Amino acid sequence: MSDTIAIRGARQHNLKNIDLDIPRNCLVVITGPSGSGKSSLAFDTIYAEGQRRYVESLSAYARQFLDLMDKPDADSIEGLSPAVAIQQRGIPRTPRSTVGTITEVYDYLRLLFARIGTPHCPICNQLIVRQAVAQIVDRVLALPEGQRLQILAPLIRNAKGTHLSVFKQLRQEGYLRVRVNGEVVSLDSNINLNKNTAHNIEAVIDRLVVRGNMAARLADSLETALDLANGTATLDIIDDEEWTFSTRFACTEGHFEIEELEPRLFTFNSPHGACPTCSGMGTVFDKADTSDEAREKIELFMRGQTCPDCKGTRLRPEALAVTISNCTIADIASMSIAKIGQFFQTLNLKNNAAEIAAPLIREIENRLAFLTDVGVGYLALNRMTATLSGGEFQRIRLATQIGTRLVGVLYVLDEPSIGLHPRDNRKLINTFCNLRDLGNTVIVVEHDREAIEMADHLIDLGPGAGERGGKIISQGPPETVIADKSSLTGNYLSGRKTIPPPPDIRQPRGHLSIKGASGHNLQNVNVDIPLGVFVCVTGVSGSGKSSLINHTLYPALARQLHRANTEPLPHKTIEGVAQIDKVIRIDQSPIGRTPRSNAATYTGLFTAVRELYAQLPESRVRGYGPGRFSFNIKGGRCEACQGDGVRRIEMHFLPDVFVTCDVCGGSRYNRETLEIRYKGSSIADVLNLTANRASTFFRNIPAAQRQLKSLADVGLGYLRLGQPATSLSGGEAQRVKLATELARTATGKTLYLLDEPTTGLHFDDIRVLIEVLDRLVDRGNTILVIEHNLDVIKRADWVIDLGPDAGENGGNIVATGAPETIAEVPSSHTGRFLKEILT
């Protein structure tokens, strides 16, 4: 294997026929302005080809689709390894997917509970096994010593004296199996019953308690022993084939029974373990919504009520009757990852249980440690993946990959620092280094200064976005790029260029006051939010920022101001709402979930364009209205692909593949529609224009100008109008939303909420973004951003810092005030980092 990945003539999207050699087994960071071609290189060229090679190595069935998979536009790519992409998209949206299930930690927990869990009767709270065994043992112990031996001896020695060989054979499997009166019973053969002492029997009980189903079997055996002693039973040793387990667990009072202690009992995704009332969803619904299909939808799930039977734990009573150290598996699943680590550290198991549990606990602890390292130690295992942020999901996948300990893999990651506080950043970067040190190549698309500086090899793309990007500006060790005056990245890294200092501090024109917010980890938070200024909400990941802003403030305001059907997390009141008339959340979620949405449709620009096309003389002659130019409805669109421009091919075990529609060639429209031309261009040609080009093209159409100018203002001039929403990055989606807002006529009393708007943005893009946000503030509006980027935080008029730490160690206001004030608060993690850059 060569020691570089050699790429020649890469032309995917905007890449300008570039050649490059990427060192293998290194940490490689690709940086450059948003839209410069980083993803086109990392994902659409390197990763895509790695995947194709992988498919090539698979079955003939998979290979027949190879020609259909889009081949990256490049002359040659040599030196690739199997590639794994760790992205922020693709979060499982079914309510059945949790942090525990996707990390496999829950699977190991299930195994652990099946092996060493102790069942209790939920009605009388007896220890099911201990009681059953103890009663029998009590009876045995009550007998004179000689008689005890008499009772137990038949279990290990039959009349023919063949016990020894059978014993040896069965011992390997851990059980002695016998049939009594035709009934099969079994006995743990590792227990030496020859020396029949009370001490020995106690040792037996000790083992019973910890060894789950084996205990029940032995209980049966001892019961049988009594029968044998009383002469009410006869005994012979049976063949292997006839052997079956007797694994029923029952409360001696007859309240409660467990069929078998097995891993399936503890999963809510199987009828064996799921609460029958809610089918393992933890939530029950109104009658109208209860179709099985609907139940699996996260949107509906969120509207349900906690299941009255399992109390949201999703498990059937039998599963909840089993504990380890007084915790049910549901109790453990509701703890944070950090807390589970402590649980296992203090768990004191006795000999045999400790031995059985050790390998399982080792697997669990390993995974917990990786998860903590990537900064998600505050998450609980029962947290549904659908409620995770993209960054959290990606970091979990990263931790899971480290757990596989694969070598020789090419990992491609997409801005993994998103949502991470500078405090936790270093640990994340260390995990890339670990992956590399295992013998892998790690390619990371990243804007984060620290990650860039840690790279073994840095590739800087630019100089601009879209058509104006796609070139390699500088590459090599970070020092080389930093020294390169032609590199925008180098100029910011070296301080030759900086994000301009804040304007004079603006005075608020009032306040919103949140009182008594207590959702998730928030600890009765009271906080004032100044209006008419730029406010940053900060704090480590998991400190409660989005609980406070996205899940309390926003839904409460949307309900009051817009009658939205949104349910805020618990809080007492929010005062001062009359001072604003609109609340608008501008987040990183896609502007549409299908390839049918794009920047043109979302901003409303496409409406104006379709009307323009319907007004053309040829359209009038043919009677084409604006609907004819929509690819969403029948009429003008290509029916072969129903206006998608692509067709989906299901690959069974692989992700679906999209191929260009062979009828319309990807244009989405039928031939007749494409015949209508404005200045020589069809409606499909318009969708292919960048916002900047479209601005020139439509310079005489005022109705289109406002949206196009806004797109340019937020730095999206390079974006093709028809680029499918599903292929836009989160940062681009957010900026499309910002552009839409900028194009509206403002009332000046709007509160804008933004969650990490710097995602996907280069230093220079951040400069542009701040200008746009400043402009909204200058019109009297309020900007409230959740942000980790210190360049943004230092420019805020007011900072609200949450923490001090994550999960239950967070949820408080640590400090509020101007950035300079926060910098003086020693208990604030944000303050510590602010102090460094403010001085």
Long-range contacts made by residues 327-335, C-beta under 8 angstroms, separation at least 24? 329/109, 329/110, 329/113, 329/117, 329/266, 330/382, 332/109, 332/381, 333/98, 333/100, 333/106, 333/109, 333/380, 333/381, 333/382, 334/380, 334/381, 334/382, 335/380, 335/381
Nearer to ligand ADP, 422 or 635 (CB): 422
Instruction: Give the separation between CA 419 and CA 659, rounded to whole angstroms.
Output: 34
In the list 127, 380, 654, 663, the residue contacting Zn ion (rule: CB under 5 A) is 663
Q: Which of residues 71-90 bind ligand ADP (CB under 6 A)?
A: none
Query: Choosing among ligand ADP, Zn ion, none, which partner's interface includes residue 278 (Cβ < 5 to 8 Å by kind)?
Result: Zn ion
Residue 40 interacts with ligand ADP (CB under 6 A)? Answer: yes
**CA atoms of 575 and 685, how far apart (whole Å):** 51
Relative to beta strand 582-586, strand 750-755 is parallel
- Site stretch for ligand ADP (CB under 6 A), options 448-456, 541-549, 555-563, 700-708: 541-549
Q: What are φ and ψ of residue 803, in 5° steps?
A: 155, -140
687 binds Zn ion (CB under 5 A): no
Q: Which is nearer to ligand ADP, 12 or 352 (CB)?
A: 12
Among 170, 307, 465, 580, interactor with Zn ion by CB under 5 A = 307
Element (H, E) at 806: none
Residue 540: both structure tokens together: 């480590």
68 counts as binding Zn ion under rule CB under 5 A: no
How many angstroms separate the CA atoms of 672 and 653, rounded?
Answer: 39
Omega cis (within 30) before 555: no
Binding mask 728-757 for ligand ADP (x = CB under 6 A): ------------------------------
Cβ-Cβ contacts under 8 Å for 413 (sequence gap 6 or more): 85, 86, 87, 394, 398, 432, 442, 443, 444, 445, 446
Interface residue with ligand ADP among 94, 727, 809, 821 (CB under 6 A) is 727
| Cα–Cα dist 31/14, whole Å | 15
Diameter of the chain by CA atoms?
112
Instruction: Give the tokens for residue 73.
Output: 């536009």
Nearer to Zn ion, 247 or 673 (CB): 673
Give the nearer residue to ligand ADP in terms of CB position, either 602 or 624. Answer: 602
Contacted by 307, from ligand ADP, Zn ion, none: CB < 5 to 8 Å by type? Zn ion
Q: Within a 10 A sphere around the Cβ of 218, how many other Cβ atoms?
A: 29
First to last CA, the chain: 49
C-alpha 207/C-alpha 219 separation (Å) is: 12
State yes or no: residue 115 binds ligand ADP (CB under 6 A): no
Q: What amino acid is encoded at 277 in this protein?
A: T
Query: To which residue do tokens 């993946």 refer?
Result: 385
* Candidate ranges 56-64, 178-186, 538-546, 767-775; the one touching ligand ADP (CB under 6 A): 538-546
Q: How far apart are CA 831 and CA 1, in angstroms?
A: 48
> What's the chain's length in residues?
839
**Binder of ligand ADP out of 50, 100, 542, 804 (CB under 6 A):** 542
Tell me the closest approach of the beta carbon of residue 690 to ligand ADP, in angstroms.
7
The single-letter DSSP state of residue 44 is I
Residue 456 engages Zn ion in binding (rule: CB under 5 A): no
Residue with tokens 């230093």: 763
Q: How far apart are CA 21 and CA 31, in angstroms?
A: 16
Minimum CB distance to ligand ADP, residue 461 (Å): 6
Q: Report what 661 binds from ligand ADP, Zn ion, none; CB cut-off 5-8 Å by kind.
A: Zn ion
283 binds ligand ADP (CB under 6 A): no
546 interacts with ligand ADP by CB under 6 A: yes
Rounded-to-integer distance, Cα 509 and Cα 506, Å: 9
759 binds ligand ADP (CB under 6 A): no
Among 4, 97, 252, 277, which residue sits at the site for Zn ion (rule: CB under 5 A)?
277
Partner from ligand ADP, Zn ion, none contacting 546, C-beta within 5 to 8 A by type: ligand ADP
Interaction of residue 333 with ligand ADP, rule CB under 6 A: no
Q: How far is the CB of 100 from Zn ion (least distance, A)?
A: 17
Q: Which of 720, 735, 795, 829 binds ligand ADP (CB under 6 A)?
A: 720
- Closest to ligand ADP by CB, 83 vs 676, is 83
Residues linked to residue 753 through DSSP beta bridges, in sequence order: 585, 784
Under rule CB under 5 A, residue 674 binds Zn ion: no
Among 29, 216, 261, 278, binds Zn ion (CB under 5 A): 278
Contacts with ligand ADP by CB under 6 A: the residue count is 31
User: Cα angle vertex 777, ends 776, 781, to 5°?
Assistant: 85
For residues 223 and 424, which CB has a smaller minimum distance to ligand ADP in the complex? Answer: 424
Q: Which segment (61-69, 224-232, 313-321, 715-723) binds ligand ADP by CB under 6 A? A: 715-723
Considering the complex, what minimum distance in angstroms separates the CB of residue 424 from ligand ADP?
A: 11
Within 426-485, the residues that bind ligand ADP by CB under 6 A are 466
CB nearer to Zn ion: pick between 330 and 556: 330
CA distance 300 to 4: 49
Q: Please say which residue, 13 or 457, places its beta carbon nearer to ligand ADP.
A: 13
| Least spacing, CB of residue 640 vs Zn ion, in Å | 5
User: Smaller CB distance to ligand ADP: residue 457 or 788?
Assistant: 788
Stretch that binds ligand ADP, among 28-36, 248-256, 354-362, 435-443 (CB under 6 A): 28-36
CB of 14 to ligand ADP, least distance (A): 4
In this complex, which beta carbon is closest to Zn ion, that of residue 80 or of residue 281?
A: 281
From 383, 571, 668, 706, residue interacting with ligand ADP (rule: CB under 6 A): 383
Q: Which of 452, 641, 676, 754 binds Zn ion (CB under 5 A)?
A: 641
Residues 780-809 that bind ligand ADP (CB under 6 A): 807
Choice from 661, 689, 792, 799 touching Zn ion (CB under 5 A): 661
What gap in Å lies between CA 356 and CA 429, rounded to an integer? 35
Contacted entry of ligand ADP, Zn ion, none for residue 807, CB cut-off 5 to 8 Å set by kind? ligand ADP
Query: Is 146 or 655 the residue whose CB approaches ligand ADP more closely?
Result: 655
Q: How many residues bind Zn ion (CB under 5 A)?
A: 12
The upper half-sphere exposure of residue 571, i.e. CA atoms within 13 Å in the direction of its Cβ, equals 25
- What is the per-residue burial (b if ≥16 Cβ within 10 Å, else e) of 582-619? bbbbbbbebbbeebbbbbbbbbbbbbbbbebbbeeeeb
**Residues facing residue 689 across a β-bridge:** none
**Residue 641's binding partner, choosing from ligand ADP, Zn ion, none, with beta-carbon cut-off 5 to 8 A by kind?**
Zn ion
Give me 106's structure tokens.
Answer: 């829950």
Q: What is the dihedral of CA 635, 639, 645, 647, to 10 degrees?
A: 160
CB neighbours of residue 805 within 10 Å: 20
Rounded to whole angstroms, the Cα distance separating 92 from 98 reads 9
DSSP state of 725: G
Stretch that binds Zn ion, among 136-144, 337-345, 662-670, 770-778 (CB under 5 A): 662-670
- Alpha-carbon gap, residue 782 to 784, rounded angstroms: 6
Peptide bond into 463 cis (omega under 30): yes
Beta bridge partners of 583: 751
Of 478 and 717, which has the nearer Cβ to ligand ADP? 717
Chosen from ligand ADP, Zn ion, none, partner binding at 387 (C-beta under 5 to 8 Å by type):
ligand ADP
379 binds ligand ADP (CB under 6 A): yes
Residue 275 binding target from ligand ADP, Zn ion, none, CB below 5 to 8 Å by type = Zn ion
Give yes or no for a contact between 323 and 122, defined as CB atoms under 8 angstroms apart: no
Binding site for ligand ADP (CB under 6 A): 13-14, 32, 34-40, 378-379, 383, 387, 466, 520-521, 539, 541-547, 718-720, 723, 727, 807
Binding site for Zn ion (CB under 5 A): 275, 277-278, 307, 309-310, 638, 640-641, 661, 663-664
